[in-house]
Chain A
């Protein structure tokens, strides 16, 4: 495998230390090494956003980041969004209630991008236009975005949209 570099990373509150090849993408590290397969890969040009996670609280397309660039970072993946007791995050609840997903492949990335959007937006309702602008970096082929927009707005209304 050639050279490896040390990596210390905290994912969903759990600290991991490992040696990784310098070219390993963060998304592959999360999926293949840590077994967190909820984060998906949908393209190879950082267009689709299926791999979006929160890195130090900001949404990041993890196919565009080397694992070693996240050394020392705190990462939240879709698996870390629900509470320890399994209580769904307001966005997860919103997507379920509003039929904001069909095949579900883009959904984890969409939820993480929306979490960042709502955190930046702050408490209270958010306009349709702001949601559409806020998630335009994440592609969905199934829903036509209609119910995704409703889901994000519902989560904002629920007042618990701020990132976990």
Chain B
């Protein structure tokens, strides 16, 4: 563990305007689809309309005869690929039944949208026309869509595996069963965390150019280095001959943390045709075959004493993987299990996970990845516990909080929370809310027929992925460690280029990292350029996801800059004939302590290092650049309190979020404006899932929500202004004291919404409703609670909504016999 550094912070901590913005607000940025290469061909992909079928035959002749078509490929043509698409998690001692996923289907299709053929031609309209002419004969097979049905193995998604169950995995500590047996009260709930889309505004896109033995790929990806590594494995091209570039990337949210079939397809086709090949995903494709998130059925049990002390928490998670594994599919719920105790001192905990295949597209990491699901279970169930005990939900939380003086805190399953002060964040949020005023207002509004409710979520999460020894092949079982790299290069004129292995797509690294490096080198962020997303320029990097960029990549840049600063000090000391210890950084230059008139600017130091060797200490290496790999000692654990206030229309069931308070703690701020931005977007993502968004398949595996017409992404009218504040509890895990903030809002948000809606409806006798809390679902719950449960059901309205958590609404606590008082 390192100490928190007290370096001069001239630029760090300021809400500097983003360096990224001028090109983006003037239309001068370059996204993948903005690139056009000489001789470039376009690709369109023929996708299965069947959810499960054997491919009897594929006739490409009519498509090939279409004007302007260069080639049509099927799975059989690509027999020379050396490996199927990757899944990167192989935990020791876990038996994993992993289905193979190939870029084009081989023999059968397993979900709607499965790629069957690829049409390549000179005109982007013509390839779409030609794709319609590929004649595929399918022999339909039985389909299984519901995850609990699939677990019965009556219909198999992949016959060769012999089961739909891919793996089982458990984690915990203490003795849950004994604690439950001894508890005063046990809350049991079935909670459905439904399937959602990442829905970055820029769909995916790829251009591949294979030329003279060199492969260059432009991809809208969060992980260019992983894509390059995989190309080497799958196509047998030496890694030094592969360059992957993530140009401007229009949002990711985990949806571009993937090694994609289409990347392989374009690269392989480019090699066949000796022409660049471009594929740009349509939004309809994006909804069908850019990986989905969430989708698990959770059975939770929470045991407590009568005073609200939680003694055990157990979650059984049935994960709907879809038809295949993506890069990290089976690992997602496990990431949530790492924080199954949340902010609370719960001595007995266990998470049991079972992975299940269904005839749907695969799920994988979407903003929060496992942690929103776990936080939802925990925070919703705590409210249920409080209600059953007749104790204020906040009081239950406070009674169980890990106290601020207990950090570092080791959980019962051996993970060490770095730092926290949960009471402080809750107190600040309540100050902003003014609870007494709220309750008075709530009562007054109720008398006017407006059902207002407030919901809380006090969360912590695990991010800053990750200590490489802990998560790597011999630890948690990831195929690679999750360190990060930085190369800081001071140029002869004193300007600076920072190459980072992080691969941002909207987060603002070019600004934040420049602030960090500028402070350390005594220069201005305006002359620090941050380069990312190009495997040909910087060192090996792991990319941007899991709220890791600042806590790992930012720290790498800081350490590299500090090493360079030390070298600068030695050069300055040599030239001033002073001791190195007496050289300070400040006010834009390196100067002598006590005599600030004596000093050198970074440009002058760089002049020594590159131009005048006689101004360098004897034996010192010329030049001024530093490469550094930073591997963290621990994860980081941001936390906070989110408060949601809703109004529910008691007639229509429509929910409006009218107020949102977010108090987050991610340690000291590098750029407060960027933190607020991450929180705003994260909360909106969570509100989206809680109220509006849902990927729906019908019972035949047809995707019902295939466009933005059917998938309700929230607009500016649905999302309220978000009131943000922060507490500051530094992390001892890294020298900046920082924690990630990219996913916190999404992790915190959904239970706050659900708890608020239940708070508004509890007097109606409603104790729980599964997300998304659409008007239909809330109205149905109201009808049932009011004894009028004979209204039209969702299924009778031409809407194929899965049933809302059966056995959840109204399923009360079970109090062990003899213990009930």
Interface centre among A40, A48, A82, A108 (most CB of B within 10 A): A40
Whether B250 and A40, one on each chain, are in contact in the complex, defined by CB atoms closer than 8 angstroms, is: yes
A155 CA to B123 CA in the complex, in Å? 41
Whether A128 and B721, one on each chain, are in contact in the complex, defined by CB atoms closer than 8 angstroms, is: yes
Q: List, in ascending order, chain B residues with CB within 8 A of A92's CB.
A: 25-26
A142 CA to B709 CA in the complex, in Å? 20
Whether A107 and B203, one on each chain, are in contact in the complex, defined by CB atoms closer than 8 angstroms, is: no
Q: Which of A65-73, A119-127, A144-152 contacts B (4 or more CB under 8 A)?
A: A144-152
Interface assignment of B22: CB less than 8 Å from any CB of chain A:
yes
Whether B251 and A142, one on each chain, are in contact in the complex, defined by CB atoms closer than 8 angstroms, is: yes
Interface assignment of B434: CB less than 8 Å from any CB of chain A:
no
Interface assignment of A78: CB less than 8 Å from any CB of chain B:
yes
Known: A104-B250, A142-B506. A148 touches B25 (CB 8 A): no
Interface residues on B, range: 35 or more
Whether B677 and A39, one on each chain, are in contact in the complex, defined by CB atoms closer than 8 angstroms, is: no
Interface assignment of A131: CB less than 8 Å from any CB of chain B:
yes
A143 CA to B684 CA in the complex, in Å? 8
Whether A141 and B26, one on each chain, are in contact in the complex, defined by CB atoms closer than 8 angstroms, is: no
Whether A99 and B716, one on each chain, are in contact in the complex, defined by CB atoms closer than 8 angstroms, is: no
Q: Which of B28-36, B149-157, B731-739 contacts A (4 or more CB under 8 A)?
A: B28-36
Q: List, in ascending order, chain A residues with CB within 8 A of B745's CB.
A: 144
Q: A92-135, CB under 8 A of B: which get 1 and which 0?
A: 10011101011111111001000000000000000010011101
Q: List, in ascending order, chain A residues with CB within 8 A of B683's CB.
A: 144
Minimum distance in angstroms from A33 CB to a CB of chain B: 11
Whether B673 and A142, one on each chain, are in contact in the complex, defined by CB atoms closer than 8 angstroms, is: no
A79 CA to B732 CA in the complex, in Å? 46
A156 CA to B30 CA in the complex, in Å? 29
Known: A47-B708, A79-B26, A103-B202. A139 touches B715 (CB 8 A): yes
Contact of A40 among B31, B674, B677, B684 (CB under 8 A): B31
Whether A78 and B27, one on each chain, are in contact in the complex, defined by CB atoms closer than 8 angstroms, is: yes
A145 CA to B674 CA in the complex, in Å? 14
Minimum distance in angstroms from A34 CB to a CB of chain B: 12
Interface assignment of B717: CB less than 8 Å from any CB of chain A:
yes
A138 CA to B200 CA in the complex, in Å? 13
Known: A1-B123, A44-B284, A45-B283. A79 touches B674 (CB 8 A): no
Interface assignment of A57: CB less than 8 Å from any CB of chain B:
no
Contact of A141 among B33, B253, B282, B707 (CB under 8 A): B253
A146 CA to B506 CA in the complex, in Å? 16
Whether B709 and A47, one on each chain, are in contact in the complex, defined by CB atoms closer than 8 angstroms, is: yes
- Of all chain A residues, the one with the shortest Cβ separation from B198 is A141
Q: Which of B13-21, B316-324, B336-344, B801-809 contacts A (4 or more CB under 8 A)?
A: B13-21
Q: List, in ascending order, chain A residues with CB within 8 A of B253's CB.
A: 141
Whether A48 and B17, one on each chain, are in contact in the complex, defined by CB atoms closer than 8 angstroms, is: no
Contact of B25 among A41, A48, A88, A142 (CB under 8 A): A88
- Of all chain B residues, the one with the shortest Cβ separation from A109 is B201
A31 CA to B709 CA in the complex, in Å? 25
A131 CA to B248 CA in the complex, in Å? 28
Interface assignment of A21: CB less than 8 Å from any CB of chain B:
yes
Q: List, in ascending order, chain A residues with CB within 8 A of B200's CB.
A: 103, 105, 141
A145 CA to B681 CA in the complex, in Å? 8
Interface assignment of B722: CB less than 8 Å from any CB of chain A:
yes
Q: How many residues of A contact B (CB 8 A)?
A: 59
**Which of B239-280 touch A at CB < 8 Å?**
248-251, 253
Whether A145 and B26, one on each chain, are in contact in the complex, defined by CB atoms closer than 8 angstroms, is: no
Interface assignment of A5: CB less than 8 Å from any CB of chain B:
no
Minimum distance in angstroms from B123 CB to a CB of chain A: 7
**Which of A28-49 touch B at CB < 8 Å?**
28, 31-32, 36-45, 47-48
Minimum distance in angstroms from B337 CB to a CB of chain A: 27
Minimum distance in angstroms from B245 CB to a CB of chain A: 16
Interface assignment of B438: CB less than 8 Å from any CB of chain A:
no
A111 CA to B202 CA in the complex, in Å? 17
Q: List, in ascending order, chain B residues with CB within 8 A of A28's CB.
A: 124
Whether B123 and A135, one on each chain, are in contact in the complex, defined by CB atoms closer than 8 angstroms, is: no
Contact of B24 among A37, A41, A101, A147 (CB under 8 A): A101
Whether B713 and A139, one on each chain, are in contact in the complex, defined by CB atoms closer than 8 angstroms, is: yes
- Of all chain B residues, the one with the shortest Cβ separation from A80 is B27
Interface assignment of B507: CB less than 8 Å from any CB of chain A:
yes
Whether B27 and A37, one on each chain, are in contact in the complex, defined by CB atoms closer than 8 angstroms, is: yes
Interface assignment of A56: CB less than 8 Å from any CB of chain B:
no
Whether A148 and B506, one on each chain, are in contact in the complex, defined by CB atoms closer than 8 angstroms, is: no
Interface centre among A1, A37, A106, A149 (most CB of B within 10 A): A37
Q: List, in ascending order, chain B residues with CB within 8 A of A97's CB.
A: 17
Q: List, in ascending order, chain B residues with CB within 8 A of A38's CB.
A: 26-29
**Which of B706-758 touch A at CB < 8 Å?**
707-709, 713, 715-717, 719, 721-722, 745
Q: Which 3 A-B pairs have the closest CB atoms?
A: A38-B27, A105-B250, A103-B506
List 23 interface pairs A-B (beta carbons < 8 Å), by A numbering.
Answer: A21-B125, A38-B26, A38-B27, A40-B31, A40-B33, A42-B203, A44-B283, A44-B284, A44-B707, A45-B707, A45-B709, A79-B27, A99-B15, A99-B17, A99-B677, A101-B24, A103-B248, A103-B249, A104-B21, A108-B27, A141-B685, A146-B722, A149-B721
Write the residues of chain B forming the contact surface with A, with a CB cutoff of 8 angstroms: 15, 17-18, 20-22, 24-31, 33-34, 36, 123-125, 199-203, 248-251, 253, 282-284, 505-508, 673-674, 676-677, 680-685, 707-709, 713, 715-717, 719, 721-722, 745
